[in-house]
Amino acid sequence: MSADAWWKNGIVYQIYPRSFQDSDGDGIGDLAGIRRRLDYLVALGVDAIWISPIYPSPMADFGYDISDYCDVDSRFGTLADFDALAADARARGLKLILDFVPNHTSDRHPWFIESRSARESPKRGWYLWRDPAPDGGPPNNWLSHFGGPAWTLDEASGQYYCHSFLKAQPDLNWRNPQVREAMFEVLRFWLRRGVDGFRVDVLSDLIKDELFRDNPANPAFVPGENPLLQLLPIHNTDQPDMQDIVFEMRRVTDAFSDPASSRVLIGELYLPLPRLMHYYGRNAEGLLQGVQLPFNFQLVGAKWLPAEIDRIVREYEAALPPGAAPNWVLGNHDKPRIASRVGPQGARLAAMLLLTLRGTPTLYYGDELGMADVPIPPDRVQDPAEKNVPGKGLGRDPVRTPMRWSGEPNAGFTTGTPWLPLGEGWAEGNVEAQAQDASSMLTLYRRLIALRRREPALHEGSYAPLAAGPEVLAYARAHGARRLVVLLNFGATPAPIPSQLLGVDAELLASTHADGEASLHEGRMLRPLEGLVFASAPA
Ligand code: GLC
């Protein structure tokens, strides 16, 4: 097996640690809880887990505001709990990916406290400090992702500091070599503890325009939308100098790769396709020296129409630099859940799509149960994105609710009061119940994952689009002489199974419908929202 096989051919599973499994009754998930559930993940069939931030944090942005990069928040446990989790994961052959948050620290991080203490502070240049504009206002018009200006005045020193997110999340100055070295040392700290890679938070934003120029107005802005979209963020995101930083980061992780297993970098990048491809970091010799997996979020925002998805997949495939590893994502802790976007049956079709496309799939915890967004009563809202810009649907609490394990109180998530409500439907829609049910979403996920693992055509084969009518997304995956055909009917009416695509004696390998395998007969149509995978016999 090649050193990179696990992240190229494997499956990544995202755990939002606050919501996975609580072990001490405080209503918040923790590392010991994750450790207890490793066997579930092995049985599911995933290869790697990515855990959202576990570091000490005031939790203004639930762990994405870090006050110490080299420790574990007491709510999640201790470094010893981390080591025990890592050892157990390793013993089960599961790779462990941590979240690296390089763009900003917490305002309680000692670096920022020091930086803020005086203009002459040796750490002043570790953050982005600017004098006020002539009128005393912010230095430029940049906006925070969580509402309002990206600048806050520090009264004591009379300067503003930049924060792309909350004012409690000051942006680091990545043009400063000391910052780079300190942050690379953070990577090494965790690499020495045996982690297999990092998901890098808002990778595109680390470097800002050196002249701090105003962003231009967005001519396509529709009043009433998310106010962030008023400006085109051309001066505070995806700057040309980013490439060097990505190369440096990669050199740090590569130094810990060994012939049996390479370390991986996965970049959080919401960028147009051509820009996204830059983060693979293809140099003049054609070598890929950037992040191995720039997250491909196109399905997360896609119009759920077969022609649209067909276009997305073709364009993505065509845009990939030679040798680059593709990847696909259906959901994460920031975006509405797939089951809420496309409905319960649509989510089964989406699962088949994700697990049969060419490229590393990333699953979001709970999607394998068909979990939908949980409505959050106003008095239980936690997310600053909702609190600061209310009513625009920006709140992420609905997608971060507790994992549903069993029919026990609080679905087996906690013996205390869960930090977010469980919502409805968990008494039936939990792991224990679904594991017994041949027609459940969990059973479908397990089957599709097993099929993907078993079939080289699916985990490392080629991809070729096929034409099968307006409502059916169709493609072939092939490896050597083995050829699989995937047919996904997005329509509300039956669609013919195009036998010319399948050849004679095609074998049905998987269906989104629980009875699918049993009912293949002459004249059989794809039912509404049905997906099928065939092994097509050689012509
Ligand atoms: C990323 C994270 C998000 C967080 C933000 C600020 O987009 O995914 O959850 O709020 O960065 O760190």
Q: What is the pLDDT of residues 294-307, one digit of tens each?
A: 999 999 999 999 99
288 and 355, same domain (yes or no): yes
Residue 456 lies in a domain: no
76: pLDDT strictly greater than 90: yes
Please choose, from the candidates 314, 336, 318, 262, the residue with its C-alpha nearest in 3D space to the C-alpha of residue 293: 262
Q: How many whole angstroms from 202 Cα to the centroid of ligand 1? A: 7
Residues 144 and 288 in one domain: no
**Enclosing domain of residue 157:** 110-162
- 4 labelled catalytic: no
Ligand 1 center–CA 327 separation, angstroms = 20
Final residue of a structural domain among 419, 448, 477: 448
- Strand spans (E) along 260-380: 264-267, 293-294, 327-329, 360-364
Does 477 lie in the same domain as 435? no
Q: Which atom of ligand 1 is nearest to the CA of 65?
A: 12
Instruction: Give DSSP secondary structure letters for 150-176.
Output: SEEEETTTTEEEE-SS-TTSPBB-TTS
Contact 360, 327 (CB under 8 A): yes
Per the annotation, the verdict on 201 as an active-site residue is: yes
| Mutate-to-test residue for ligand 1 from 55, 201, 206, highest number of ligand atoms within 8 A of CB | 201
The rounded distance, in Å, linking the Cα atoms of 353 and 434 is 21
Distance in angstroms (rounded) separating the CA atoms of residues 380 and 403: 18
Model confidence band, residue 285 (pLDDT cutoffs 50, 70, 90): very high
Q: Give me the number of domains the chain comprises.
A: 3
User: Does residue 433 share a domain with residue 284?
Assistant: yes
Q: Is 24 a catalytic residue?
A: no
The answer on 496 and 351 residing in a single domain is: no
DSSP readout, 438-455? TTSHHHHHHHHHHHHHH-
Residue 453 within a domain: no
Answer yes or no: is 168 within a domain: no
Q: What is the pLDDT of residues 34-53, one digit of tens each?
A: 999 999 999 999 999 999 99
Please tell me the residue having the least CA distance from ligand 1 atom 9. 334
Position 400 in a domain: yes
Q: Which two tokens stand for residue 370?
A: 């068909």
Do 439 and 359 fall within a single domain?
yes
Does 518 score more than 60 pLDDT?
no
Indicate whether 382 and 302 sit together in one domain: yes
Share of the chain above pLDDT 90, in %: 93
d(CA 488, CA 345): 12
Please pick, among 4, 71, 83, 334, the residue that the annotation labels catalytic: 334
Please give the average per-residue pLDDT across 64-80, as a whole number: 98
Q: Which of 297, 139, 111 is nearest to 204 (CA)?
A: 297
137: CATH: 3.90.400.10
Active-site position among 81, 196, 268, 471: 268
Please report, for the domain that includes residue 239, its CATH number. Answer: 3.20.20.80
Q: In this structure, are 513 and 420 located in the same domain?
A: no
Residues 130 and 236 in one domain: no
Ligand 1 site residues, Cβ closer than 6 angstroms: 61, 64, 101, 165, 201-202, 268, 333-334
pLDDT at 137 over 80: yes
Which residue's alpha carbon is at the smallest distance from atom 3 of ligand 1?
334
538 pLDDT above the threshold of 80: no
In ligand 1, the atom with minimum distance to the C-alpha of 103 is 12
Per-residue pLDDT band for 115 (boundaries 50, 70, 90) equals very high
50, 202, 271, best to mutate for ligand 1 pocket (most atoms within 8 Å of CB)? 202
The number of the ligand 1 atom at minimal distance from the alpha carbon of 61 is: 10
Q: Are residues 137 and 84 in the same domain?
A: no
Question: Do 400 and 423 fall into the same domain?
Answer: yes
pLDDT at 516: 67
For residue 389, the model assigns a pLDDT of 86
- Tell me which of 61, 196, 201, 205 is the catalytic residue: 201
Q: Mean per-residue pLDDT for 140-147? A: 96
Domain boundary among 448, 480, 506: 448
Residue 230 in any domain: the answer is: yes
Would you say residue 65 lies in a domain?
yes
pLDDT band at 269 (very low <50, low <70, confident <90, very high): very high
Specify whether the backbone of 25 is left (phi greater than 0), alpha (psi in -120 to 50) or beta.
left
Say how far apart CA 173 and CA 322 lie, in whole Å. 33
* Mean pLDDT rounded to a whole number for the chain: 96
pLDDT at 213 over 80: yes
- Residue 405 has a pLDDT of 98
Same domain flag for 184 and 320: yes
Q: Would the pLDDT of 348 be above 70?
A: yes
Contacts for 168 with CB less than 8 Å, ≥ 6 apart: 58, 60, 61, 65, 106, 107, 108
Active site residue 61: no
Active-site residue, 268 included:
yes
pLDDT at 514 over 80: yes
Q: Tell me the pTM.
A: 0.98
Q: Residue 303's CB: how many other CB atoms inside 10 A?
A: 8
